[in-house]
Amino acid sequence: MTSAFFAVILLSVSSDTLSSEQHEQPVFVCDEDIDRADITGVERELEDRLWDETLSYLRGVRDVLTTPAGCLDGPRAVTQTLNDAQDGVERRCITRYRDVELMIKHLDAVLEYPEAARACFDNQARYEAFQLYSPNAEMVAADPVATWINRPTLEDYYTDRDDEVGEAGRELAAHFEILLANTVSEHTVGSDVTFNGLPTLWRSVGWLPFYAESESGISPRFRGGYTYAEVMGPWGLLRIKSIDGETVGAEIGMTVQLGDTFYPYHYHHPQEWYITLTPNACVHGNEFAVMFWDNPAFNQIRRERGWRVEVPADDADMRFIEQGVEQDWLTYFERNAIHAFNVAGSCNGEPSGLVSIWARTTARDNDQTTRMCVVADSEGNLPIGPGVGFICELDDWEY
Ligand code: ZN
């Protein structure tokens, strides 16, 4: 706490005028683990570049959430790929959700007072909570900021791993830049927030091979072929605990999922949204499913302080819809909504994969754990995919 308050005081006394604006400047309280080591002039210039692209990314996110696209004050999002009536897709205006309103409000504060917010910025070169990675040596060498931060690479991480997870991880690392480059964001807002527009950010942010060591991801190809990065949030580059005493629940980053992988059904207390950046080049394309945990298509059984939810193997076609830049590029998952991503295989021999903007809105309440569903019939020999039955054990949450 001490260092967070110290930063705020420093910023106040360094302002040389007492304008009326100064009185309105919100109080940013940072997380305690911000690295405050002194950096030299050249390093400061490099960090400035990362900070500038961080702000551009966050501005793009704020703009997409506030630009009318199917709703008067913002975009329309898929909230269920099969509605409760079992007769179609359910879409809602995303700004109707209070957690999204708060995310927009906090992004506005950051973008309006970037100098104050920067006290909570950390390039995470010496991040201690867990190891973060750059994709590969080529991408590091291509960017002076990534070279300066000098994270270990996913390429090295998977080098000696002699299993299917390692094989997929090496494929992901080798094709990383191609996957990132094959993206667009004009369908969301005017600015280019993809790798093509913000190459320093995408090369320098810390990536996490989230399922590499976790068998809960089930399929080895998915476990090695998935990674995500966090730009803002409790574990990201910009770590703001509160603004004017209000908890900042925003967690904003990006995900990459290699082609020909199935991200099994999962769920969590924090709400989540995704924006698709990869064009849908394949005939069958990328698909996803999201449904409220109490959707009648599932079987719900009450247990102590929670629910057992059975996802049937049948009728998977009804639950999965295509996502792409032309249609349904935004999805919003309510608390404990059960969701899965089925990413198509390669098209015409080109490496394929799904790149998305990813966010959670309440990253500082309840249980943040991503909970995986398990295969219902573990004796079955079907390949893991949409046509397999799953069981999800949901816990109640508290407000
Ligand atoms: Zn999720």
For residue 35, report the distance from its CA to the centre of ligand 1, in Å. 29
For residue 341, report the distance from its CA to the centre of ligand 1, in Å. 10
For residue 44, report the distance from its CA to the centre of ligand 1, in Å. 35
Order across the sheet with 371-372: list the strands.
321-323, 286-291, 338-343, 261-267, 371-372
Question: What does the pLDDT read at residue 349?
Answer: 77
For residue 80, report the distance from its CA to the centre of ligand 1, in Å. 13
Question: What does the pLDDT read at residue 397?
Answer: 76
Radius of gyration of the chain (CA): 21
First to last CA, the chain: 25
Question: What does the pLDDT read at residue 350?
Answer: 82
For residue 78, report the distance from its CA to the centre of ligand 1, in Å. 14
3-state secondary structure of 155: helix
pTM metric for this prediction: 0.92
For residue 281, report the distance from its CA to the centre of ligand 1, in Å. 24
Rounded Cα distance between 196 and 99, Å, is: 30
Q: Which residues are close to ligand 1, an ion, with C-beta < 5 A?
A: 272
Question: What does the pLDDT read at residue 5?
Answer: 41
Rounded Cα distance between 34 and 26, Å, is: 19
Q: Are 368 and 293 in contact (CB under 8 A)?
A: no
Rounded Cα distance between 217 and 220, Å, is: 8
Closest by CA position to 194, among listed 64, 46, 327, 348 = 64
For residue 272, report the distance from its CA to the centre of ligand 1, in Å. 6
Rounded Cα distance between 194 and 186, Å, is: 10
For residue 16, report the distance from its CA to the centre of ligand 1, in Å. 45
For residue 250, report the distance from its CA to the centre of ligand 1, in Å. 14
For residue 227, report the distance from its CA to the centre of ligand 1, in Å. 13
- Give the count of beta carbons closer than 10 Å to the beta carbon of residue 19: 10
For residue 260, report the distance from its CA to the centre of ligand 1, in Å. 19
Q: Are 212 and 156 in contact (CB under 8 A)?
A: no
Place of tokens 């608390």: 335
Place of tokens 């007072």: 113
Q: Are 55 and 201 in contact (CB under 8 A)?
A: no
For residue 37, report the distance from its CA to the centre of ligand 1, in Å. 34
Place of tokens 């990536």: 207
Mean pLDDT by 10 residues, the chain (399 residues): 42 44 82 92 96 98 96 97 97 98 98 98 96 98 98 97 97 96 90 97 98 92 97 98 98 96 95 93 78 97 95 92 91 97 82 94 92 86 86 85
For residue 358, report the distance from its CA to the centre of ligand 1, in Å. 9
For residue 207, report the distance from its CA to the centre of ligand 1, in Å. 17
